[in-house]
Structure 1
């Protein structure tokens, strides 16, 4: 098979996302909206005299963030570790499951009801069951919850990407007697890669949310979820919102890191000859 043709096909199907796509407006617009939102929030709380148990003022939340930053960081590390492990495990399971489903129609048909059922399992019902199985003193249950939440979007997006290979590309590779390995390397994987990263970007925030919610139902005190419930139970609502702020920062960090990995991969992955 001609190396030039193989390179052309790979170039046509490789990811197109680049660092230059992140223009100033992409970053500046959310910052402006955030500043306006926080300013309006502060004015409403001060002007209407809203009680802290309903919603505290951003200034009060910020004071608690500054005062308890070390505790917030410790909670972010505990929750972030569970979310990261769950994201890695769930991502691998989702990608491998999608590959198997794309290669075998029988596996695909068998996986449909299973994945559909798993996608609607509520975390609030699953977490206590897992704590009974593995024990609340260990992080296994929280990691399983995060992995389950991650595997579903990664599976669906990867499977869709694997099925997006153009018929023209397949026929071209077949005409040049390409081996199955060459087809996978030069056509299938480059086409599916953007879909895989889309699933991972969606799952990155879900991993944090799932690990956080799972902490509400018991286990070590160090996580953000447990810290939020403890602060709210003691009527320290600004502190509870400070921990919520930490969880928002953690979720954004997961999303941004996943996006940067995608950008790096798109920039440094050359066409496969």
Structure 2
């Protein structure tokens, strides 16, 4: 009976997206974070570090609770731009990868364009886009986030499309499968894990890019604009409170993307 139970448990774990949930993967980061924050608070108190250098965690948390409504509103504005950029950039990256995989000439032409897009500095791009689309709209911030997203999604998706084992392609050829059938049953399912890897990377990049784009102009609102405003008025604990909001926003984007990946992996297992 025990052998049967053990076999059943092993089979159940094999069907789950995560093979085994270890306590250490959850507890260790939490313990490490608590230790770091405790040491941070201790050093600031003992060394009497000025707030303009780095404020104490307790002071930052006080600002977070006091200005919770403003932080949430800023997170909504930045999150909206990041989400639109994430969706738009992901669509562009996926379509580009599909076309590059299907057309070899297009793949070769896209190499220098992707390389150039991957090194475009947001610091230089954001002001140019503000002058093109106007500083009263959010278009520039969305484009910056979309550009940052499209590159990792494109590269990871294209890599996944190229990972189909030769034996599977030969088998589909032996069965006289149509190209659409090969794509639906072999190529796309193989590429899905790589696609989600790109999306997980891109989810954080979307928030970071939208946040940085807010530093260089555009409408008021958003965490980046709030950080610069608080810092320029020498309210450094408040600036760090907005930084805390940005960190939480980035984690939310990453975790949601991860949960979508796990859900998809459970309901659509890779063959």
TM-score by length of 1: 0.92
Structure 2 residues not aligned, in runs of 5+: 1-13
In structure 1, the residue matched to 2:150 is: 151
Deviates more, 1:38-47 or 1:71-80: 38-47
> Where do 1:30-69 residues align within 5 Å?
30-69=29-68
Q: 1:110 to 1:237 in 2, by over 3 A?
A: same
- 2:16, 2:137 → 1: CA distance? 40
Report how many aligned residue pairs link the two structures: 258
Contact 2:153/2:198 (8 A) holds in 1: yes
- Per-residue CA deviation, residues 143-192 of structure 1 (Å, 9 max, x unaligned), is 00000000000000001000010001100111111111111111101110
Structure 1 residues not aligned, in runs of 5+: 1-14
Report the Cα offset of residue 24 of structure 1: 2.9
- 1:184, 1:89 → 2: CA distance? 23
In structure 1, the residue matched to 2:199 is: 200
The alignment yields a C-alpha RMSD, in angstroms, of: 1.5
Report the Cα offset of residue 30 of structure 1: 1.1
Q: 1:94 to 1:255 in 2, by over 3 A?
A: same
1:116 partnered with 2:115: yes
TM-score by length of 2: 0.92
- 1:64, 1:111 → 2: CA distance? 47
In structure 2, the residue matched to 1:190 is: 189
Contact 1:212/1:225 (8 A) holds in 2: yes
Question: Moved runs in structure 1, 4+ residues, more than 2 A?
Answer: 19-25
In structure 2, the residue matched to 1:262 is: 261
- 2:260, 2:21 → 1: CA distance? 14
- 1:32, 1:162 → 2: CA distance? 39
Q: 1:189 to 1:16 in 2, by over 3 A?
A: farther
Q: 1:143 to 1:64 in 2, by over 3 A?
A: same
Deviates more, 1:17-26 or 1:162-171: 17-26
Q: 1:92 to 1:42 in 2, by over 3 A?
A: same
More contact order relative to length (CA 8 Å, sep ≥ 6): 1
Contact 1:76/1:250 (8 A) holds in 2: yes
